[in-house]
A and B are shown apart, each in its own frame.
Chain A
Amino acid sequence: MPKVVSVHSYRGGTGKSNFTANLATTVAALGHRVGVVDTDVPSPGIHNLFCLEPEQMGKTLNNYLWGESPIEDTAYDVSSNVGLNSGGTLYLVPSSVKADDIARILNNGYDVKLMNDGFRSLVKALKLDYLFIDTHPGLSKETFLSIAISHVLILILRPDKQDYQGTAVTIDVARQLNVRKMLLAINKAHSKLNLEALKQKVEETYSETVAGVFPLSEDIVQLASEGVFCVKYPEHPVSQEFRRVALQITEG
């Protein structure tokens, strides 16, 4: 049975897109068919990590939401873009970066039913084993939907008071939505922190599993969202941590 994995955080800039791209690629590298949907319609960005330029995009998620094309026609095979050559396949459904397209969605909204049905059609049409959903931060109808539809919800948080509080709110909502499995991931932990102690403290606070802890990394900053870190530096500790998280998704 295919699995839907949503990556979300209450606040912006926690590293959702980076995390989604790396985790999806790591899972694909295990030999799976993987799709990624950029549901961050107001501020899309994950296409950069997959080296898909706006000029190369024909149809986007926006066209699907406007009823202009089937969702599978808005998916791009980005396997070779990211340098995946181990048998898996990686697709991206990007959101439009054209200001006018974004404005049109913001003005008119869209029916969240369409998003639900689109995810399902995409999984069927592309015969996906995993579907990753990159989200817009905060709570909205759309994020409620991605939480409710997912088999695994991954909440990203930084060691920061604002993130802690927001995560508590999000966990409440996720529980109310009967989410099947929830995992936390701590990102951007600075070098002076004891990562193991941090993990334990977060697990105790929320009574949820922490799937991985990722340090604040100069190397990630340096890559500057141009490509998928795990493929460029497969032996880096960050990449190894992504592999551990990936196994919790594929084996859990």
Chain B
Amino acid sequence: MSDLGNLQSLTSSIAAVTSPFRNYLNDLHEKYRSLNEGKVADYIPELALAKPEWFGICVVTQDGHVFEVGDCDQLFTIQSISKAFVFGLALEDHGREYVNSKVSVEPTGEAFNSIVLDEVTNRPYNPMVNAGAIATTDLIKGKNGTERLKRLLEMFERYTGRVHDINVPVFLSEKATGYRNRAMAYLMLNFGMVSHNIDETLDLYFQQCSIVVNAKDLAMMAATLANGGVNPVTKKRAIDERYVQDVISVMLTCGMYDASGEWAYRVGLPAKSGVGGGITAIAPGKLGIGTFSPLLDAKGNSVRGIKVCEDLSREFGLHLFNVTTPERKLHDWIAGGDGINDW
């Protein structure tokens, strides 16, 4: 039995290396590696240190197969990607109705950092813009700032299967220059949308943006949501299954800043991007994608990451509303075998 177990584990690790799907990802990496459009975020000096050539693609399937190409271990700060997951934790802490009374789920055509609230209800538009994320961060329970941060980090650990930390220089820089976010928080306080605990909440907000991840983490987080909230490798639950659809649907409508509408139309994968260069994208019931390349377009989304998601969605028919037979069948490409021409 143990003999067979060893053989099986070795053959399956080799099968993952030679899988046509990994070869496909490799070719995709090659195809976009030379795409040098966009620029590295530089509103704080720490982000400007990112190397433009960094590029990683990772896909984790719903049954836990991991495919990595390129710089999948390179660490970077999660930035806005955390917003989707913090929204999930706020839902677990307070339930749908209460959270919805503090933040709407309406996409906004405005940029991520706009200071606009709904004129009737005074709620920020959605949990993916800065104002909305400050409001959901305010809802995270805990005795004090330390405990609240700990709860956030433990949540990310459940999603990725790895212990996370924050990048302190990034946190301090964000905090030192975050006047606009501070202004937004006070505006919301004025309308009673956030608690008086404003300094602690803002710290927690800047800290959650500074959590350190890699492309593999982002793929694992997406795969966890794709798998109904259970990490497909560790089998640990990361989020109450009732709220998986809340998180995913807001990612679909609001996840890619003010490019979300076009993204939903063309790519059709719920996703969230961050100015650190990461994108996490979900094909529910199938897989999670994590990409990392710090070159950003004018809207703050990773240029190469967008291309990778577009290609994957088109060629494997991953668009949520796709009803045609895709060019490549995902299952066959992962399993490999005779019919596949991956050369």
CB-contacts of A82-117 with B (<8 A)? 112-113, 116-117
A178: interface (CB < 8 Å): yes
Interface-located stretch among A73-81, A143-151, A211-219? A143-151
A148 / chain B contacts, CB cutoff of 8 Å: 11, 14-15, 17-18
Q: Are A144 and B343 in contact, with the CB atoms below 8 A?
A: no
Given known A176-B7, A178-B336, contact A144–B341 (CB-CB < 8 A): no
A152: interface (CB < 8 Å): no
Q: Which residue of B lies closest to A150 (CB)?
A: B18
B341 / chain A contacts, CB cutoff of 8 Å: 1
Q: Are A2 and B343 in contact, with the CB atoms below 8 A?
A: yes
Q: Are B343 and A116 in contact, with the CB atoms below 8 A?
A: no
A120 / chain B contacts, CB cutoff of 8 Å: 23, 26, 343
B337: interface (CB < 8 Å): yes
Select which of B15, B26, B343 is within 8 A of A123 by beta carbon: B343
A231 / chain B contacts, CB cutoff of 8 Å: none
> A178-196 CB contact bits vs B (8 Å, 1 = yes)?
1010000000000000000
A161 to chain B minimum Cβ distance, whole angstroms, is 22
A168 / chain B contacts, CB cutoff of 8 Å: none
B336 / chain A contacts, CB cutoff of 8 Å: 178
Number of B interface residues, CB 8 Å?
15
B338: interface (CB < 8 Å): yes
Q: Are A141 and B343 in contact, with the CB atoms below 8 A?
A: no
B15 / chain A contacts, CB cutoff of 8 Å: 148, 177-178
Q: How large is the interface on A (under 10, 10 to 19, 20 to 34, 35 or more residues)?
A: 10 to 19
B44: interface (CB < 8 Å): no
B35: interface (CB < 8 Å): no
Complex Cα gap A112–B14 (Å)? 8
A173: interface (CB < 8 Å): yes
Q: Are B7 and A149 in contact, with the CB atoms below 8 A?
A: no
Given known A2-B343, A176-B7, contact A141–B14 (CB-CB < 8 A): yes
CB-contacts of B289-343 with A (<8 A)? 336-338, 341, 343
B11 / chain A contacts, CB cutoff of 8 Å: 144, 148, 173, 176-177
Q: Are A117 and B337 in contact, with the CB atoms below 8 A?
A: no
B216 to chain A minimum Cβ distance, whole angstroms, is 14
> B1-36 CB contact bits vs A (8 Å, 1 = yes)?
000000110110011011000010010000000000
> A15-35 CB contact bits vs B (8 Å, 1 = yes)?
000000000000000000000
Complex Cα gap A123–B343 (Å)? 9
Q: Are B17 and A116 in contact, with the CB atoms below 8 A?
A: yes
Complex Cα gap A123–B27 (Å)? 13
Complex Cα gap A141–B10 (Å)? 8
Q: Which residue of B lies closest to A113 (CB)?
A: B17
B337 / chain A contacts, CB cutoff of 8 Å: 178, 180
Complex Cα gap A243–B243 (Å)? 65
B14 / chain A contacts, CB cutoff of 8 Å: 112, 141, 144-145, 148, 177
> A53-82 CB contact bits vs B (8 Å, 1 = yes)?
000000000000000000000000000000
Complex Cα gap A173–B338 (Å)? 18
A178 / chain B contacts, CB cutoff of 8 Å: 15, 336-337
B307 to chain A minimum Cβ distance, whole angstroms, is 20
A177 / chain B contacts, CB cutoff of 8 Å: 11, 14-15
A208 to chain B minimum Cβ distance, whole angstroms, is 17
Sample of 8 more A-B contacts, CB < 8 Å, known A144-B14, A177-B14, A178-B15 = A112-B17, A123-B343, A145-B17, A145-B18, A148-B11, A148-B14, A176-B7, A176-B8
A selection of 12 A-B contacts at a CB cut-off of 8 Å is: A116-B18, A120-B23, A144-B11, A145-B17, A145-B18, A148-B14, A148-B17, A173-B7, A176-B7, A177-B11, A177-B14, A178-B336
